[in-house]
Structure 1
Amino acid sequence: MKILKRSTLLLTALLMVGGSLVSAAPNEFTNSDSITIDFAQDQQIQSKIDSLVTGKERTIMAEVLSRLAPEDRENVMFVDENGKIYSNKVAIIDSTENYTSIGDNQYRSTSGLTITGPGNYAEPIDTAADDSPLGGEFFTNGGEFSTNSVIPTQTGGSGPYRRVYSNDGFSWMSTYVTLPGGTNIKDSNSTGLLDTAFVYLGGWSSNSTGIDAGMQHSTAYDDWAPTTLANNAMQPSPIRFKANQDIYMKFYITNTNEATLAVSGIGTDGVSKTVTIVRAGVSGWNKDGIGSRLKRMTTIGQKGGESMTTGSYMKGVHWNDITIGRYDSNTSSANLIYSSWGSSQTGGFQLYQRR
């Protein structure tokens, strides 16, 4: 389900729930997200899977797609708990590699390509935080250090970041976010440096299992790739999106121990599209959101030890129409209950290296 801009949401006073028209409280909405698959839905799901995807792979992808919102079934990648990659599109399978950790916040593919991660995603959230408002930009040189921030212990190098995290009890969120490009972003990639900018969602489960899910910037092409980091492995999509645009991102729990990222925007080919990455085996995550915290972050990930003198920076990231929710496990139709993400849903802020 795609959440409309807030201006549209606030005009919505009535919703159809369970076949009857009922009023909705301001900034709180419900959506019936039935898991029952009828013939028409099965036909729609099968139409989203390439004919060359057959046998076990087709069965697996049909099951995965059945758990996704219909609008998220266009270009889907599924990574199982063992790191095996499946997709509903042959082109995605043929051009995708899984990147596993080699230490120093680096991840390497089977063909030997190396990318930098967004940071120590598995570190549990610290319960204390700086509650300053989020503003300005952050840099790896110059800038004002936020001395009041209480930062979780970092290992392997993280770089500057800005984090907002929720209270406990959420399993679904969506947002529009501006992806910068051109002179608003610089990833310093000189000899020995692999700074990489990220804009992403994710969070920590009831047993502190972390997942990062969002967009990774390319220095070489000045574009962005949907990517996820879970189970000590990164999974970027081969489908990339243009810089300097507002995209729609959604992070939600689609099954027990299964998290999903869906991104909608204009690809580098100029065509509007949705890319979805589903990660299995992320323990402690449930649709009811009990014990889970969600987050949104802007980060410059760095190789090895952290350095604030590389000259990297990112400006112009704007978050809009941020929505947060959970699935009501007490109903057979698994209703999604959601609202705008405001101060009452916020657990805290953390800022590191800002000005």
Structure 2
Amino acid sequence: MTLYTAGFRANVSPAYGPDPDLLLRLTRDLTPQQAEHVAVLTERGITANSAALAGALCFHRFHPLTGQVLAGDGGWLGNLVSDVLHTDQPSEGGGVQVSCKDEKSGPYRRVFSKTGFAYQYSKVYLPSDLQGDLHEKKAAGCGDTAFIYAGGWGGQGGAVDAGFQHGHYMNRSQDDWAPFFLVQQAGGPSAITVSDQRQAGGDPWRLLAGQNADLTFWVTQDADLTVLSMSISGITSIDRTQSNLTLRAPIDSRFGWDASGGQNILKRMTTIGQTYGKQNLQTGSFIQGVNWQGSRIGRSEADAQDWRAEQTGGYCSFPDPNTPEGQRADGQGPKWRIDFRDAGNETDNVYLV
């Protein structure tokens, strides 16, 4: 791990990893809160502004067609890689066409925007299995794992998933939500996840389940680089303090991500991810009470406004509640129950029974 202190310049944080100059460059435009804990993903790996953060994060690279892990151990992202690999592709007329379809990797609720946005923010409730908000039936053998995330597509693809994955740090009883940042690159998706084994006690990389957390995703331009960023903020799972983590990644320009909005489409997602090809919509898993609140969208934070119907490209719940596949086997109605207030405020619940 490389330690870079930028000579003896004052007020410059050290950088740990292969790209110290890029980390410093991509910290200057952040607010003090966003810059508290920062990591940058590049082709060479992860560079962070503290040794603890660099040691807690993992880098993964996946094959662009098969999803096979080429670098790293794959983390816990196998259930999401298929979503990136089999994402909606640009049409012949240009721009990504978002469809509501069976992606063979579990149930999902998606709210997606019209084109032209580069910033989104939501406060979202992170359910707790200890409080009965969710259950992942691991014994079913389908990889059932709860995910809550934002992201979207550039004008020519480049799918991004940025948010939270439910877990149990070191198999402890305290359930938590770990951040992940999955970015489609020309050579295959790359990802940052929090290591299951290398997290020091008290580090702010996992958030406590059963709380409202802040999730922000945005696109910026820094000279020749288009940069995708996510920031999460909430109470940490171990030391119970308020903390902020920012993850950033330059994106290949061929995907058409535009800091001024362009043809970008942004999204919000609630899913129970399952291993691609092993989808089972009756495992017994469930997640309830995923409350998206106060969602805002814009070309930047400065011009963001409440996410309303006029900014929305569509909604999708799979399996479709209006089909037999979308109905619960116990006769209690549809698998998905969406308590919808408006495009920026809803509560998602899904029951795989």
Q: Normalized against structure 1, the TM-score is what?
A: 0.71
* Alpha carbons 1:179, 1:317 under 8 Å: kept: yes
Greater RCO structure (CA 8 Å; 6+ sep): 1
1:148-202: CA deviations, max 9, x gaps?
x962462xx3200100000100000111000000211112222633211111000
Segments of 5+ residues of structure 2 without an aligned counterpart are: 1-8, 92-97, 196-204, 320-335, 338-353
Residue 171 (str. 1) matches residue 118 (str. 2): yes
Give 1:104 shift: 7.2
The question of 1:252 aligning with 2:252 is answered no
Q: Report the 3-state secondary structure (helix = DSSP H, G, I; strand = E; otherwise coil) of the residue aligned with 1:69.
A: coil
Further displaced range: 296-305 or 111-120: 111-120
What is the aligned partner in structure 1 of residue 347 from structure 2? none
Aligned: 1:100 with 2:50: no
What is the letter of the counterpart of residue 87 of structure 1? A
Taking structure 2 as the reference length, the TM-score comes to 0.71
Q: Which runs of 5+ in 1 are unaligned?
A: 1-41, 128-148, 328-334
2:17–2:46 Cα contact (<8 Å) kept: no
Rate the CA distance shift 1:346–1:274 in 2: closer, same or farther, 3 A.
Answer: same
Which residue identity lines up with residue 40 of structure 2 in the other structure?
Answer: F
Judge which range, 309-318 or 215-224, deviates more: 215-224
Q: 2:292 is matched with which residue: 319, 324, 349? A: 319
- Indicate how the Cα distance of structure 1 residues 111 and 320 shifts in structure 2: closer, same or farther if over 3 A, else same: closer
Q: 1:317 to 1:153 in 2, by over 3 A?
A: closer
Q: Separation in 2 of the partners of 1:244 and 1:236?
A: 21
2:46 pairs with 1:117? no
CA–CA distance in structure 2, aligned partners of residues 200 and 322 of structure 1: 13
Where does residue 94 of structure 2 map in the other structure? none
- Counterpart in the other structure of 1:272: 242
Q: Which residue of 2 aligns with 1:25?
A: none
The reply to whether residue 237 of structure 1 matches residue 201 of structure 2 is no
* Structure 1 contact 186–313 (Cα < 8 Å) conserved: yes
Q: Could you say what secondary structure the match of 2:52 adopts?
A: helix
Q: 1:348 aligns with which of 307, 314, 333?
A: 314
Instruction: Report whether the alignment pairs 1:86 with 2:47.
Output: yes
Deviations 1:237-257 (A, max 9, x none): 351000000001110012243
Provide the aligned C-alpha RMSD in A: 2.8
Output aligned runs, 1:327-338, within 5 Å: 327=300, 336-338=302-304
Secondary structure at 2:259 match in 1: coil
Work out the CA distance in 2 between the residues paired with 1:295 and 1:108. 27
Matched, 1:261 2:221: no
My pick for the range that moved more, 288-297 or 115-124, is: 115-124
Residues 340 and 58 of structure 1, relative CA distance in 2, 3 Å threshold: same
* Residue of structure 2 equivalent to 1:286: 258
The equivalences for 1:1-355 within 5 A come to 46=12, 49-50=13-14, 53=15, 57-80=19-42, 82-101=43-62, 110=72, 114-118=76-80, 119-122=82-85, 123-124=87-88, 151-152=100-101, 154=103, 157-182=104-129, 183-190=132-139, 192-219=141-168, 220=171, 221-231=174-184, 232-237=189-194, 239-255=205-221, 256-268=225-237, 269-282=239-252, 283-305=255-277, 306-327=279-300, 336-353=302-319, 354-355=336-337
How far apart, CA to CA, are the structure 2 residues paired with 1:98 and 1:77? 11
Aligned residue for 1:287, secondary structure, equals: coil
| SS in structure 2 of the partner of residue 85 of structure 1 | strand
Moved more, 159-168 or 278-287: 278-287
Q: Are the counterparts in 1 of residues 150 and 269 from structure 2 also a CA contact under 8 Å?
A: yes
* Deviation at residue 59 of structure 1 after TM alignment: 2.3
Instruction: State the SS of the aligned residue for 1:344.
Output: helix
The number of aligned residues is 278
Q: Please state whether the residue corresponding to 1:67 is helix, strand or coil.
A: coil
Amino acid at match of 2:288: K
Amino acid at match of 1:250: T
Task: Go from structure 1 to structure 2 and tell me whether the alpha carbon gap of 1:223 and 1:124 turns closer, same or farther (over 3 Å shift).
Answer: same
Deviations 1:201-253 (A, max 9, x none): 00110112210101111154520011111121231135100000000111001
Rate the CA distance shift 1:111–1:234 in 2: closer, same or farther, 3 A. closer
Q: Hey, what's the Cα distance between the residues in 1 that align with 2:125 and 2:207? A: 12
- Secondary structure, counterpart of 1:120 in structure 2: helix
- Taking the aligned partners of 2:74 and 2:313, their CA distance within structure 1 comes to 40
